[in-house]
């Protein structure tokens, strides 16, 4: 145990970190590792690999991911903003590069190989994009003559265009929802709400008419016709699991779900551990979102408020999309369950998001005392 009287970076970190957030992130990583034993062996066997191939790789991803999360949580808000700007620039550059030299997977160009390691740049773009937009919105709120909102709109246009070019409609929807929520918190004018809502509807219509795979997924969702094997099998796994599951290692339907270790790990959890266990997972994600929004609403600094809200919304909406697909409440979309699904890029990127949340929600009593004094004197909040 670290003493309160002890001074130093580690001691300061230990006594200022939000331990509920930290414990929840680690808990989700532990749940994901446990579920990898249930979900990944059948996939590995179908590919002719060792049964625990993906389990070992999942464990290998956990260590650097945890190190990234804890390391980033040591940063100050100013350092978080600078790190996000650098990460956004690098990830956007790689997203452009992936369109020319990327690896095509299921008709989309999302992956790029660097030194033999496959990386999905859009995963790392998401937390950086949220933090940079939060800074732009906060600068406009602090000094209205700064066109922060306009720059945020232009940045969103660039990110959206790169995602559509891959194409990756799911990430586009996720990014749009999170960005729209942050813009709403920043005081989005009603005119912009109407314009952006119209643009969203128009974009959806264009995607449906111009992208055959998007139209196919929506049509299959609405009519139930066509290749619905994976979602139907996932639903069957959930039904067979009933309330308390068939028991660890006793799942049968999971063996024929193609992406059981990634997009459909929630269905595997339902079959082996039951609906009650899945409800606990949903409650954990709900707790993360609600605690993050509670922090944001208490925060006086605009940058911290927008960034924390945007980051937890990103985790919450992504988990909602993944679970919605598993329950056949949404059209099929390849999107991982944060911190639980197998995937190196997804795991490390979500831990970057978690690290940003931990860094921005740390208790800083001296800073808050100064802010309260300035607030009472009518000076306003200082910029980070």
- On whether the CB atoms of residues 62 and 26 are closer than 8 A, the answer is no
Single out the residue of 128, 146, 131, 124 nearest to residue 77, CA to CA. 131
% of the chain surpassing 70 pLDDT: 90
Per the model's pLDDT, the better-predicted residue between 315 and 12 turns out to be 315
Would you state the pLDDT for residue 333? 77
Q: What is the pLDDT confidence band of residue 382, given thresholds at 50, 70 and 90?
A: very low
The answer on pLDDT for 130 being more than 80 is yes
Estimate the crossing angle of helix 302-326 against helix 344-360, to 10 degrees. 150
Would you state the pLDDT for residue 379? 47
Single out the residue of 35, 25, 36, 38 nearest to residue 58, CA to CA. 36
The answer on pLDDT for 376 being more than 70 is no
- On whether the CB atoms of residues 233 and 202 are closer than 8 A, the answer is no
Pure H helices in the chain: 9-16, 19-46, 53-73, 77-101, 121-142, 148-165, 169-185, 190-210, 212-223, 229-241, 265-298, 302-326, 344-360, 365-377
Structure tokens that stand for 283 in this block:
């409650």
Mean pLDDT over each residue of the chain, to the nearest integer: 86
Residues 6+ positions from 64 with CB-CB distance below 8 Å? 348
Would you state the pLDDT for residue 141? 87
The rounded Cα 53 to chain-centroid distance in angstroms is: 25
Q: What is the pLDDT confidence band of residue 59, given thresholds at 50, 70 and 90?
A: very high
Would you state the pLDDT for residue 118? 81
pLDDT digits (tens, 9 = 90+) for 182-240: 998 888 777 877 887 888 788 777 777 877 767 777 777 777 666 677 888 888 999 99
pLDDT digits (tens, 9 = 90+) for 71-102: 999 999 999 999 999 999 999 999 999 888 87
The rounded Cα 127 to chain-centroid distance in angstroms is: 7
Give the residue-averaged pLDDT of 300-326.
94
Asked if residue 371 has a cis previous peptide bond (ω within 30° of 0), the answer is: no
Q: What is the pLDDT confidence band of residue 370, given thresholds at 50, 70 and 90?
A: very low
* SS3 at position 18: coil
Would you state the pLDDT for residue 216? 73
Would you state the pLDDT for residue 95? 92
39, 68, 166, 284 from 75: Cα distances, Å: 35, 11, 33, 25
Dihedral Cα 340, 343, 345, 351, nearest 10 deg: 20
Would you state the pLDDT for residue 351? 96
Per the model's pLDDT, the better-predicted residue between 55 and 382 turns out to be 55
The answer on pLDDT for 298 being more than 70 is yes
Would you state the pLDDT for residue 306? 95
Q: What is the pLDDT confidence band of residue 5, given thresholds at 50, 70 and 90?
A: low
């Amino acid at each position: 145990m670290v003493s309160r009287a002890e001074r130093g970076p580690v001691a300061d970190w230990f006594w200022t970190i939000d331990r509920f957030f930290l414990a929840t992130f680690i808990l989700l990583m532990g749940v994901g590792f446990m579920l990898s034993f249930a979900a990944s062996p059948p996939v590995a066997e179908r590919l002719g690999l060792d049964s625990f191939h993906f389990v070992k790789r999942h464990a290998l991803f956990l260590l650097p991911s945890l190190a990234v999360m804890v390391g980033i949580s040591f940063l100050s808000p100013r350092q978080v903003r600078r790190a996000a700007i650098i990460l956004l620039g690098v990830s956007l550059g790689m997203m452009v590069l992936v369109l020319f030299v990327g690896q095509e997977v299921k008709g989309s160009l999302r992956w790029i190989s660097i030194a033999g390691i496959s990386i999905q740049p859009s995963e790392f773009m998401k937390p950086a994009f949220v933090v940079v937009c939060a800074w732009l919105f906060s600068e406009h709120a602090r000094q209205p003559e700064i066109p922060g909102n306009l720059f945020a709109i232009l940045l969103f246009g660039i990110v959206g265009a790169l995602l559509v070019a891959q194409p990756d409609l799911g990430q586009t929807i996720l990014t749009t929802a999170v960005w729209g929520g942050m813009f709403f918190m920043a005081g989005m004018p009603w005119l912009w709400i109407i314009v952006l809502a119209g643009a969203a509807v128009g974009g959806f219509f264009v995607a449906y008419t111009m992208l055959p795979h998007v139209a196919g997924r929506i049509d299959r969702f609405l009519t139930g016709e066509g290749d619905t094997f994976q979602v139907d099998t996932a639903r069957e796994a959930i039904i067979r699991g009933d309330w308390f599951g068939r028991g660890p290692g006793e799942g049968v339907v999971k063996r024929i779900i193609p992406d059981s270790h990634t997009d459909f790990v929630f269905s595997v959890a339902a079959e082996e551990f039951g609906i009650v266990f899945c409800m606990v997972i949903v409650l954990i994600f709900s707790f993360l979102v609600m605690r993050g929004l509670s922090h944001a609403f208490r925060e006086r600094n605009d940058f911290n408020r927008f960034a924390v809200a945007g980051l937890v919304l990103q985790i919450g909406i992504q988990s909602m999309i993944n679970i919605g697909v598993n329950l056949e409440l949404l059209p099929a979309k390849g999107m991982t369950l944060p911190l639980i699904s197998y995937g190196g890029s997804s795991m490390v990127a979500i831990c970057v998001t978690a690290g940003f949340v931990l860094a921005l929600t740390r208790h800083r009593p001296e800073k808050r005392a100064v802010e309260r004094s300035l607030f009472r004197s009518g000076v306003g909040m200082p910029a980070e």
